[in-house]
Amino acid sequence: MAFHESFKTLPDKDGSRLALSGKRIKVRPFNKATFAIQITLAALTALSVYGFATFDYKDISIVNSIVSTATTVKTMFLEPHLKHFTFLEALAQVGITLGLAFLTTLFGGIIALFLGLLAARNLSSEPVSLAVKGAVAFIRAVPTVLWVLIFAVAAGLGSVAAVIGMTFHSVSYLVKAYSEAFEELDEGVIEALKASGANWWQIVFQAVIPSSVTYLISWTFMRFEINFAVAVAMGAVAGAGGIGYDMFMASSYYYDVREVGVITYFILALAIILELLASRIKKNLRTRS
């Protein structure tokens, strides 16, 4: 891709002028990497078209399916109605889901704070940092639902297994986020504190955490929002209870899409409230700092 430059000259960094009149500037040169990307995209597009064309739809009409889906979505969101439980019971179930997310984030944040200090290269030795980062990378690679099912073998399906499994994954997520925030601290500050006789704990609580508190709050609230969404899913998958279990019952057991619509509105409203609360807290922290 190339284009003609309309300017005759451009100022260089040292004040000199660069003559560009009549020249063609190569914006994105064609190389092997670009060719490989284009070939990959073309192959994926061709495979997608071929898959849709050869898929066995079992005499299902695509047009009728689209119309039926639109009708279901319309009923779900424009005609919400509670039939199998009351509004207050729905609020109580939302509170249970929120409690699962809060406990998971609280336990995960406390554990991840100390492991994040050990994982930060500027606060720990290289072998310890690599060991911690390698362990949390392995934990993070395993899906949350699988950790919940693993702990369900020992604790049984329910809220206990859900909290432990979600905490496991939260720790791995927050350790990476916290350690990267700690590593952003200027090395000169740490060296100055060491030269003044400060020990490791004094460096952590007087320099590292105060300078990184905004990032810690941001990452923690982001994980809290993720844990809330995961807690909804675990309510159905792992029998953890909460609004997720009610959504599972409404969508599969007695199939009431109007009730699913109400539950979806509950989840959406709480997600918006959490986002507004996180924005307000981060704004106050920036103002104070």
Residues whose CB falls within 8 Å of the CB of residue 81, separated by 6 or more in sequence, listed in order: 258, 259, 261, 262
**In this structure, how many other beta carbons lie within 10 angstroms of the beta carbon of residue 154?**
9
Q: Cα–Cα–Cα angle for 86, 145, 241, nearest 5°? A: 20
Average pLDDT (205-216) is 85
pLDDT at 90 over 80: yes
Average pLDDT (82-86) is 79
Q: Could you tell me if 146 and 195 lie in one domain? A: yes
Q: Are 166 and 231 in contact (CB under 8 A)?
A: yes
Per cent of the chain over pLDDT 70 is 88
Q: Could you tell me if 104 and 44 lie in one domain? A: no
Residue type, 128: V
> Is 62 inside any structural domain?
no
Question: What sign has the CA pseudo-torsion 27, 33, 39, 40?
Answer: negative
> Is 143 inside any structural domain?
yes
Average pLDDT, the chain: 81
Q: Could you tell me if 103 and 232 lie in one domain? A: yes
> Is 68 inside any structural domain?
no
pLDDT score recorded for residue 288: 63
The boundaries of the domain holding residue 190 are 86-288
Average pLDDT (226-242) is 82
> Is 168 inside any structural domain?
yes
Q: Could you tell me if 162 and 41 lie in one domain? A: no
> Is 70 inside any structural domain?
no
Give 280 or 179, the one with higher predicted confidence: 179
Q: Could you tell me if 6 and 92 lie in one domain? A: no
Q: Could you tell me if 40 and 91 lie in one domain? A: no
Whether this prediction's pTM lies above 0.75 is answered by: no
Q: Tell me the pLDDT tens digit for each residue of 98-154.
A: 998 999 999 999 999 999 999 988 888 889 999 999 999 999 888 888 888 888 887
Q: Could you tell me if 107 and 228 lie in one domain? A: yes
Q: Could you tell me if 173 and 33 lie in one domain? A: no
pLDDT score recorded for residue 134: 92
pLDDT score recorded for residue 279: 80
CATH of residue 159's domain is: 1.10.3720.10
> Is 37 inside any structural domain?
yes
Q: Could you tell me if 100 and 210 lie in one domain? A: yes
Q: Are 9 and 20 in contact (CB under 8 A)?
A: yes
Q: Tell me the pLDDT tens digit for each residue of 253-263.
A: 788 888 888 88
Residue 45, φ and ψ in degrees, nearest 5? -65, -45
Average pLDDT (16-42) is 68
Q: Could you tell me if 50 and 119 lie in one domain? A: no
> Is 90 inside any structural domain?
yes
> Is 144 inside any structural domain?
yes
pLDDT band at 3 (very low <50, low <70, confident <90, very high): very low
Q: Could you tell me if 36 and 132 lie in one domain? A: no
Q: Name the least confident of 2-11, 80-89, 238-247, 279-288.
A: 2-11
Q: Could you tell me if 134 and 29 lie in one domain? A: no
Please count the structural domains in the chain: 2
Average pLDDT (229-238) is 82
pLDDT band at 42 (very low <50, low <70, confident <90, very high): very high
